Amino acid sequence: MYHKDANISQNGVRCKNIYFFLNTTISLDNIAKKEIYILAIESSCDDTSAAVVHNGKVLSNVVSSQTEHINFGGVVPEVAGRQHILYILPVIDEAIRQAGISKEEINAVACTVGPGLLGSLMVGLSTAKSLAMSWGIPLIGVHHMHAHVMAHFADDPIPSFPFLCLIVSGGHTLIIKMDDFLTVQVLGTTIDDAAGEAFDKTGKMLGLSYPAGPIIDEMSKKGKPIYEFPKAKLANLDYSFSGLKTAIMYFLQQELSKNPNFISDNINDICASVQHVIVNTLMEKLIKAITSTGITHVGIAGGVSANSALRQALIDASIKYNFTPHIPRFAYCTDNAAMVGVTGYYKYLERRFDQLDLKPSARMDLLQL
Ligand code: KG4
Ligand code: ZN
């Protein structure tokens, strides 16, 4: 059965030509109808997620977060891929059920293609391809970091362009400038570890479970930033967090040699100090980007944008530097399919469809939107 909008059987299009046909005809039809439903899939790391987005607004967003990695200090790729296989179909079913629509109403399937863990991406993308093919609707590949920024366009008020955004996740730390929904320019990036990695690796040294970011955030609320850690000094808008990781390791070794209970005795202050230096480092470069570009709509996105100190720091800076701050709701900070669906919607409007031979990419340039 082909999707009702595809009209493929009526035109007698052969299988190998379907994709070309989909790219040219369906979209115009549905854009004219102005009722666009996107089914979105996200499986780039350890969250299996599906969402339904209607005309750019989120109807449902189901996330199944894998707990199997908690004691490993990081995501185990092989385990992540296997768990996605178990959860992907129930999660999609639930997203469609919660959206209160029928499968026949879906106009396109959007899916994260990268960057991420290859085995994890493959599960989501293969499922998306199968659904697009069997329902006769377009496939839309989405860049994971683009999706994180697009989380800002899920709720009103949306940012105005140009929009400056700090994207901070477990694998990336980027300052980007967005000139429209689909045009992104990278102004700065990390030359080594990501900010989320700095949180997670510190957590591992402190004996906290993975992901440590939210735990450090909570513990920091009960502590004070009394320990000083060095900040990397790079001249441009780039970041570096690997030196901080080493400094924390030597600091802990030194203190533990004097007091074997140093970590448990001072865990809240250690967390507050680490969070303080990470947030300050992130904000310093973001402020540099704001003052050098003069952009007045500025946001944060990605898993680390759930951090309470970073959220507060952006609000404080907006008063001092006179810009409009944009902070996504918590559910759209860490990995979720809603942000993929919103991105998919704006790509749909531009008819940016993909062929069914689309391949997942572990590494992916943001220019490859
Ligand atoms: O965007 P995300 O869910 O996945 C990736 O694309 O990597 O980001 C996950 C990262 C992890 O490093 C996690 O520790 C961090 O986001 N994170 C936080 C907080 N919540 C999640 N870091 C600091 N404070 C938080 N509240
Ligand atoms: Zn992410």
Q: pTM for this structure?
A: 0.90
Q: With left for phi above 0 and alpha for psi between -120 and 50, is residue 291 left, alpha or beta?
A: alpha
Of 28-37, 144-153, 289-298, which range is least confident?
28-37
Nearest residue by C-alpha to atom 13 in ligand 1: 213
Stretch 261-266: mean pLDDT: 98
Stretch 335-348: mean pLDDT: 98
| Pairwise CA distance, residues 77 & 116, whole Å | 10
Residue 13: pLDDT above 70? no
Peptide bond into 159 cis (omega under 30): no
**Residue 3 confidence (pLDDT):** 37
**Residue 11 confidence (pLDDT):** 29
Q: Read off the pLDDT band of 1 (50, 70, 90).
A: very low
Q: CB–CB of 167/150 below 8 Å?
A: no
Cα 288 to averaged position of ligand 1 atoms, centre (Å): 23
**Residue 27 confidence (pLDDT):** 45
Cα 29 to averaged position of ligand 2 atoms, centre (Å): 33
Residue 107: pLDDT above 80? yes
In the 3-class helix/strand/coil scheme, how is 167-207 assigned residue by residue? EECCCCEEEEEEEECCEEEEEEEECCCCHHHHHHHHHHHCC
Cα 122 to averaged position of ligand 1 atoms, centre (Å): 22
Cα 282 to averaged position of ligand 2 atoms, centre (Å): 17
Residues in the chain: 369
Q: Tokens representing 271?
A: 């967390």
Which ligand 1 atom sits closest to the C-alpha of 170?
7
Ligand 1 binding pocket includes 46 (Cβ within 6 Å): no
The chain-wide mean pLDDT, for the chain, equals 91
**Residue 368 confidence (pLDDT):** 59
Stretch 2-6: mean pLDDT: 36
Q: Return the higher-pLDDT residue of 3 and 229.
A: 229
Stretch 117-124: mean pLDDT: 98
Give the pLDDT confidence of 205-230 residue by residue, as tens digits: 999 999 999 999 999 999 999 999 99
Question: From the CA of 42, which ligand is nearest?
Answer: 2
Q: CB–CB of 20/307 below 8 Å?
A: no
Residue 15: pLDDT above 50? no
- Please enumerate in sequence order all residues whose Cβ is within 8 A of that of 365, keeping only pairs 6 or more positions apart, or say none: none
**Residue 80 confidence (pLDDT):** 93
Ligand 1 binding pocket includes 213 (Cβ within 6 Å): yes
Stretch 117-144: mean pLDDT: 98
